[in-house]
Amino acid sequence: MSEAMDETPLDLAAERWRRPLGLALAVAAAAWGVLVATAPIDTMQGEIQKILYLHVPAAFASYAAFLTTAVAGAMYLWRERDEWDRLALCAAEVGVVFCTLVLVTGPIWAKGTWGRWWSWDPRLTVTLLLWFIYLAYILLRSFTEGSERTARFAAVYGIVGLLAVPLNYLAIDLFGGRAVHPENLGRGSLGEGMRAPFWTGVGTALLAFSFLTLLRFRLETERIRSARAAGAGMGA
């Protein structure tokens, strides 16, 4: 990764889309908040069921983030351009944040619904595995920053790690009756008044992932640029 830190097409696209995405996110978040507040209360679970509108969208956002890490890693292996490696790292960091949110809201919902904070349900277990996979990815990058060999290994790791995403989604179907989670969403699985806040939440979470990734990408670009400028100044 020895190329100069000039503004690349990816850098320019990130800067161009950051503000429009921020505005769209603000509007979507406001609409989501209103829809969740006015959504009907589940007759069996009560108010705690509304965690659904945060828990599941956060999972979708983490899936999108880890998919971006894999795609950006593949682009880095193909093009060997530093900006794709930076995007892969930034998406992974944002994905871990959303995956953490899933792991935090899940036990809260489980305590109110199942009466216990944690059970080794297949989906919970695979979600925890997914979190560890990408946390390891981030730690690997932090300990070996600046190495092209590390960037290539991380790209492959990010691509292989993506296999845990469909495993996470299909865990309920694969393990059948041993899963405590309800079945995956299908036609008629959302009750009356639930569809609008749910899908608005998914859209808001995806916008939040996109905005935060672009913001983190810009910060990472500036950090590397400043570090290289400082290094050049010391060597002068």
* Position 191 in a domain: yes
Q: Is the pLDDT of residue 15 over 60?
A: yes
- The domain spanning residue 85 has which CATH number? 1.20.120
123 in a structural domain = yes
Predicted structure pTM score: 0.86
Per-residue pLDDT band for 2 (boundaries 50, 70, 90) equals: very low
Instruction: Establish if 232 belongs to a structural domain.
Output: no
**Mean model confidence pLDDT for the chain:** 84
Range of the domain at 83: 9-226
Contact 179, 123 (CB under 8 A): yes
Assigned domain for 146 exists: yes
4 part of a folded domain: no
Average pLDDT over residues 118-122: 74
156 is a domain residue:
yes
For residue 100, pLDDT beyond 50: yes
Mind giving me the DSSP string for 68-127? HHHHHHHHHHHH--HHHHHHHHHHHHHHHHHHHHHHHHHHHHHHHHHSSS----HHHHHH
With respect to residue 152, please indicate whether it lies within any of the assigned structural domains: yes
Specify the amino acid at residue 125. Answer: T
- Assess if residue 234 is contained within a domain: no
* Count of structural domains, the chain: 1
